[in-house]
């Protein structure tokens, strides 16, 4: 097999007389990799930036010496900017430094962010096109835009500067990060998720990850318009959520799980009482009767932790119609499944998994890790009776986010959980500029819950379950 490309055997090769190369070389079967653009800034520009960085450091020291930090909280933005401008002007005169207008404005803006915000990161936090901010040491700051990572020209002065900003963030929420406690989770003032890891665990400088909080809520119509899924899939999901099926949204990091969960929650009736439980409060439910809970890590003394499991146990005593857990990742899974099984139909959560089948395996692993000794068949029976629907969200290689599969759990067949896929995203190729070509299609399988949908007043036409032929 594949003898055309097989390497010649050493014995046979020794008897072959080498022939001179004839004709043009064969084209390579390997796809040419895009050549990364070499950003080689001019030495002059580099030195200028370094010099401005040194000036900014000196000015920042002068600000700390002269500003009344305790009065900052009550000062208006305009007053503070004027004060910073005055101190900066005086300090520059003393240093004998002359800057042009643009440099002065940029420097004053940077100083304002240093005093009131998160220094160099503040500009990126205010940029609505940025979804994630990823810091790999003081000299490397990446951002994610439209699903693609790109390196910015923003840097910190040094590791001390970066550590000072990290400390500023974590101290605001009563946490600390140092050698004895080298990693931390926190939430920024705007709701963005913040994670940091500092040396010695972070080898080449502190690592920071910020998942920005989305101010605008994407509705179902928006996601259909963006091509995340089709109107037929939206109609099916509306029926599923409205008829109180238990839904798990599965996917990898940054695949759009929380966005999908937010969108699905819009189908919940306004009269229902919903309780949400999250690590970081991101869900933006529009219903009237919503109770929001947020778990809490331990304080500096290692006390006062409130886990998702604690919140979930309390939620069950609060007469919820539905419970929505932002992400299930540990021992709270058993309480979540029990809630789904004991009268809280229509509950929802997200998990990290690459497919619906992997999602079920992940639930089994989480139950096992929670230290609950249960026969495998009993465990699977619990999962199959609790979970009705698994929605798979994926971030594809071109950066686009799609709902790649909707799968129903239909029960047990022997010791195996039986599942059937209703909709999927069918990939057919790749454009020259690496955009994925594909289409959404039904699998041809009629929904297991069609009768339930009909009884609740959602009579879906049979046509939506028919496979679509690509044009």
**Which CATH number does the domain housing residue 436 bear?**
3.40.50.300
| pLDDT, tens digit (0-9, with 9 covering 90-100), for 1-13 | 444 434 455 444 4
pLDDT of 295 > 50? The answer is yes
pLDDT of 28 > 70? The answer is no
Question: What is the average per-residue pLDDT within 51-60?
Answer: 70
Residues 174 and 269 in one domain: no
Q: Is residue 26 part of a domain?
A: no
Residues 270 and 197 in one domain: no
Q: Is residue 71 part of a domain?
A: no
Residues 110 and 123 in one domain: no
pLDDT more than 70, % of the chain: 83
pLDDT of residue 248: 95
Q: Residues with Cβ < 8 Å from 164, sequence gap 6 or more?
A: 119
Whole-angstrom distance, CA of residue 322 vs CA of residue 310: 17
CATH number for 186: 3.30.450.90
Give, as one character, the DSSP assignment of residue 457.
Answer: T
Question: What is the average per-residue pLDDT within 219-230?
Answer: 89
pLDDT of 125 > 50? The answer is yes
Q: Is residue 374 part of a domain?
A: yes
Q: Is residue 13 part of a domain?
A: no
pLDDT of residue 356: 92
Q: Is residue 368 part of a domain?
A: yes
Whole-angstrom distance, CA of residue 406 vs CA of residue 238: 13
Question: What is the average per-residue pLDDT within 112-130?
Answer: 80
Residues 197 and 249 in one domain: no
pLDDT of 172 > 80? The answer is no
Residues 242 and 362 in one domain: yes
Reported confidence tier of residue 81, pLDDT bands at 50, 70, 90: confident
Residues 322 and 373 in one domain: yes
Question: What is the average per-residue pLDDT within 416-432?
Answer: 91
Q: Cα(first)–Cα(last) distance of the chain, in Å?
A: 35
Most confident stretch, 300-304, 314-318, 389-393, 434-438: 389-393
Pick the more confident residue, 74 or 134: 134
Last residue of a domain, one of 213, 241, 272: 213
Q: Is residue 426 part of a domain?
A: yes
pTM: 0.75
Q: How many CB atoms lie within 10 A of CB 211?
A: 20
Reported confidence tier of residue 423, pLDDT bands at 50, 70, 90: very high
Most confident stretch, 230-239, 271-280, 432-441: 230-239
Reported confidence tier of residue 64, pLDDT bands at 50, 70, 90: low
Reported confidence tier of residue 18, pLDDT bands at 50, 70, 90: low
pLDDT more than 90, % of the chain: 30
184: nearest Cα among 270, 299, 99:
299
Question: What is the average per-residue pLDDT within 319-325?
Answer: 91
Q: Is residue 16 part of a domain?
A: no
pLDDT of residue 92: 74
If one counts the domains in the chain, the total is 3
Residues 378 and 308 in one domain: yes
Residues 52 and 173 in one domain: no
How big is the chain, counted in residues?
Answer: 471
**CA 223 → CA 71, 196, 346, 371, distances in Å?**
46, 31, 22, 39
Question: What is the average per-residue pLDDT within 306-325?
Answer: 89
Residues 149 and 82 in one domain: no
Pick the more confident residue, 237 or 60: 237
Q: Domain range holding 318? A: 220-465
pLDDT of 439 > 80? The answer is yes
Average pLDDT, the chain: 82
Q: How many CB atoms lie within 10 A of CB 434?
A: 11
Q: How many CB atoms lie within 10 A of CB 321?
A: 18
**CA 417 → CA 121, 242, 304, 344, 389, distances in Å?**
47, 24, 39, 22, 13
Whole-angstrom distance, CA of residue 131 vs CA of residue 214: 8
pLDDT of residue 2: 41
Last residue of a domain, one of 182, 213, 244: 213
Last residue of a domain, one of 165, 188, 213: 213
pLDDT of residue 10: 46
Pick the more confident residue, 425 or 78: 425
pLDDT of 32 > 70? The answer is no
Question: What is the average per-residue pLDDT within 230-243?
Answer: 93
pLDDT of residue 385: 92
Pick the more confident residue, 329 or 387: 387
Pick the more confident residue, 468 or 49: 468
Residues 166 and 247 in one domain: no
pLDDT of 231 > 70? The answer is yes
pLDDT of residue 63: 65
SS3 235: helix
Residues 374 and 261 in one domain: yes
Pick the more confident residue, 119 or 412: 412
pLDDT of 173 > 90? The answer is no
Q: Is residue 105 part of a domain?
A: yes
Reported confidence tier of residue 126, pLDDT bands at 50, 70, 90: confident
Question: What is the average per-residue pLDDT within 19-24?
Answer: 56
Residues 266 and 368 in one domain: yes
């Amino acid at each position: 097999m594949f003898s055309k490309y097989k390497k010649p055997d050493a014995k046979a090769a020794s008897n072959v007389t080498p022939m001179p190369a004839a004709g043009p070389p064969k084209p390579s079967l390997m796809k040419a990799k895009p050549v990364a653009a070499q950003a080689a800034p001019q030495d002059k520009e580099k030195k200028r930036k370094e010099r401005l960085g040194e000036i900014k450091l000196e000015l920042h020291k002068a600000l700390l010496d002269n500003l009344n930090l305790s009065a900052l909280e009550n000062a208006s933005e305009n007053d503070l900017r004027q004060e910073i401008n005055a101190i900066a002007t005086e300090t520059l005169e003393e240093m004998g430094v002359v800057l042009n207008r643009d440099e002065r404005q940029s420097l004053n803006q940077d100083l304002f962010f240093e005093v009131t915000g998160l220094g160099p990161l503040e500009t990126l936090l205010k940029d609505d096109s940025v979804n994630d901010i990823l810091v790999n040491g003081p000299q490397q700051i990446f951002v994610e835009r439209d699903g693609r990572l790109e390196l910015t020209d923003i840097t910190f002065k040094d590791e001390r500067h970066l550590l000072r900003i990290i400390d500023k963030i974590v101290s605001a929420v009563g946490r600390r990060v140092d050698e004895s406690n080298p990693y931390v989770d926190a939430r920024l003032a705007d709701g963005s998720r913040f994670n940091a890891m500092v040396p010695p665990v972070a080898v080449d400088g502190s690592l920071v990850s910020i998942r920005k909080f989305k101010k605008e809520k994407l509705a179902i119509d928006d996601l259909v318009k963006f091509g995340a899924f089709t109107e037929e899939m939206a109609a099916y999901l509306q029926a599923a959520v409205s008829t109180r099926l238990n839904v798990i949204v599965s996917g990898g990091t940054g695949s759009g799980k929380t966005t999908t969960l937010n969108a699905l929650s819009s189908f919940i009736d306004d009269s229902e009482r919903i309780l949400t439980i999250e690590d970081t409060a991101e869900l933006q439910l529009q219903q009237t009767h919503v109770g929001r809970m947020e778990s809490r890590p331990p304080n500096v003394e290692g006390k006062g932790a409130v886990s998702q499991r604690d919140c979930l146990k309390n939620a069950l005593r609060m007469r919820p119609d539905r419970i929505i857990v932002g992400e299930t990742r540990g021992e709270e899974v058993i309480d979540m499944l029990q809630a789904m099984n004991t009268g809280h139909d229509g509950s929802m959560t997200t998990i990290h998994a690459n497919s619906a089948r992997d999602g079920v395996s992940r639930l089994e692993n989480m139950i096992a890790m929670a230290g609950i000794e249960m026969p495998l068949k009993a465990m699977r029976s619990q999962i199959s009776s609790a979970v009705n629907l698994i929605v798979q969200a994926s971030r594809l290689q071109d950066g686009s986010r799609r709902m790649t599969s909707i799968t129903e759990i239909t029960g047990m067949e022997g010791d195996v959980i039986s599942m059937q896929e209703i909709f999927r995203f069918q990939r057919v190729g790749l454009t020259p500029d690496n955009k994925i070509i594909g289409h959404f299609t039904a699998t041809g399988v009629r929904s297991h819950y069609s009768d339930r949908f009909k009884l609740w007043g959602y009579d879906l036409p049979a046509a939506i379950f028919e496979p679509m032929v690509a044009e």
